[in-house]
Amino acid sequence: MPINRIINCQTQDNIGKEVKVAGWVNIRRDHGQIIFIDLRDRSGILQVVCQASLVEGVKDEDVLEIEGLVKERPSRMVNPNLITGKVELEAKEVRVLARAQTLPFTLKDLNVSLPVLLDWRALTLRNEKIKNVFKVQEALADEFRKSARELDCTEIFVPTISASATEGGAEVFKVDYYSHPAYLTQSPQLYKQMMVPVFERVYTISHAYRSEPSVTTRHLSESIQLDCEFGFADFKELLDLMEKVGTNMFKAAESECPLILKEYGAEKISYGEIPRLTLRAAQEIIYREEGRDVRKEKDLSPEDEIDICKWALKEKGSDFVTITHFPTQKRAFYTMPDPENPVFSLSYDLLFRGMEICSGSQRINNYDQLVSTIKERGMNPGDFEMYLQSFKFGMPPEGGFSFGLERMTKNILNLGNVREASLFPRDMERIDLKLAELKKKEEEKPKKKKSISQKK
């Protein structure tokens, strides 16, 4: 009778039994007539001992189905770093389910440049350490949802195709929508606000698109945003909520992926009381501590973010800093100016280890004020008709925030580039392949067609 496949980690509970496993050849090691195969499946790696004749021609990344006997390893051979480290499988039968072509590089101990990493993305993601980036990402996203639900937020699904540029900026991707001009949303911002009078508190995980014509280590053209919006919340509560959700996410990643964080050399996060500084106060600190005078700048530069986080860790024992009161003109039109000094706004960013990972604000909730602000910014209220409907018929004081999933992943793991924290990063140079390469392919196509038609 054929036996059912078990996954690698279940071998521990089947010592002395015949089992069937399946997976990829993570690495093949030859010891004369005995071949060791590290077989990889979703649960981890299992050491399989094979007679050479059973695995003739079997190479790294081939897909195998193996039947064999689970044996306990002698205590001196136990591998504590392997989930199946107490056992090994003695192969009786090996079936090749799929062959792999010769690899362009060894996947184990992969050490390639970023362009190579991305050119071979479908392959390099198989590397254990690289794959693990996305296990951390999963833990962050999952805790975001859990935290939002505990705060009584309803999950909403909002569209990404919009009739006008969400935030009024120029950096939007244009879509041909049944011959009408349309745009990819820069964020779920307007829609989540519109859902406040419906659900009062909402959350959404959505795609955000920015056509930013610059290459940095911190920007993506398509990214994943984790958004919350709260009705009847004042400025202070919004800060509390943002900090709570953010720290919850990092705590979950630490508690669910301790080995991965260790593998990446990530230090334990310091959750001291989070300092809350206005932009101007932060700039004063930077001036005092670093001697750089940025006190008139309208925003923090990447260098400023690093410096103020350094200060927060040293002085307050916190890997986080909350910065508030950015100049009103530097923030999106829906941001509430501070009634006490409208030049600055009731806006905030959460920084973590030298980088902004979250941004938000209290919003303008009065219809007339919102319409005036749209006009003052040189935009047309008619382009926001559906959005304004929500404000016309009773919008309470409200606000929210938005986390960048890739940035959080990058920073908790000390990755050098945010692209490493996106499965298939989009930027101005690449859609999986380099745009230049795609263009070359396109140009080659008509030629082919021509040569066919010439044959006729």
Span near a second copy by CB under 8 A; candidates 68-76, 116-124, 245-253, 333-341: 116-124
Whether the CB-CB separation of 119 and 105 falls below 8 Å is answered with no
x-or-dash string of contact with a second copy, 260-299, rule CB under 8 A: ----------------------------------------
Comparing CB distances to a second copy, the nearer of 139 and 274 is 139
Spatial contact of 299 and 250, defined as CB atoms under 8 Å apart: no
Output 333 or 387, the one with its CB closest to a second copy. Answer: 387
78 vs 71: CA distance, rounded Å? 12
DSSP notation for 129-171: HHHHHHHHHHHHHHHHHHHHHHTTPEE----SEESS-TTS-S-
Residue 112 binds to a second copy (criterion: CB under 8 A): no
Q: Which residues of 102-127 are buried (b: 16+ CB within 10 A; e: fewer)?
A: eeeeebeebeeeeeebbbbbebbebb
The span of 29-37, 45-53, 56-64, 298-306 binding a second copy (CB under 8 A) equals 56-64
Write out the binding residues for a second copy, residues 174-213 only, by CB under 8 A.
174-178, 180-182, 184, 191, 194-195, 197-201, 205, 207, 209, 211, 213
* Options 31, 42, 296, 447; binder of a second copy; rule CB under 8 A: 42
Backbone angles phi, psi at 319, to 5 degrees: -80, 0
Binding mask 59-78 for a second copy (x = CB under 8 A): --xxx---------------
Q: Taking CB under 8 A as the rule, does residue 24 contact a second copy?
A: yes
- Phi then psi for residue 17, to 5 deg, are -110, 160
| 332 lies in the binding site for a second copy (CB under 8 A) | no
Instruction: Give the shortest CB-259-to-a second copy separation in angstroms.
Output: 16
The residue with tokens 């409208």 is 342
417 binds a second copy (CB under 8 A): no
- One-letter amino acid identity for 262? K
Nearest by Cα to 423 from 440, 409, 434 = 409
Window 121 to 150, contacts with a second copy (CB under 8 A):
121-123, 125-126, 131, 134-135, 137-138, 141-142
Interacting residue with a second copy among 106, 270, 372, 380 (CB under 8 A): 380
Ranges within 426-445 binding a second copy (CB under 8 A) = 426, 428, 431-433, 435, 438-439, 441-442, 445
Q: Which of 308, 338, 316, 309 is nearest to 326 (CA)?
A: 338
| The residue count for the chain | 456
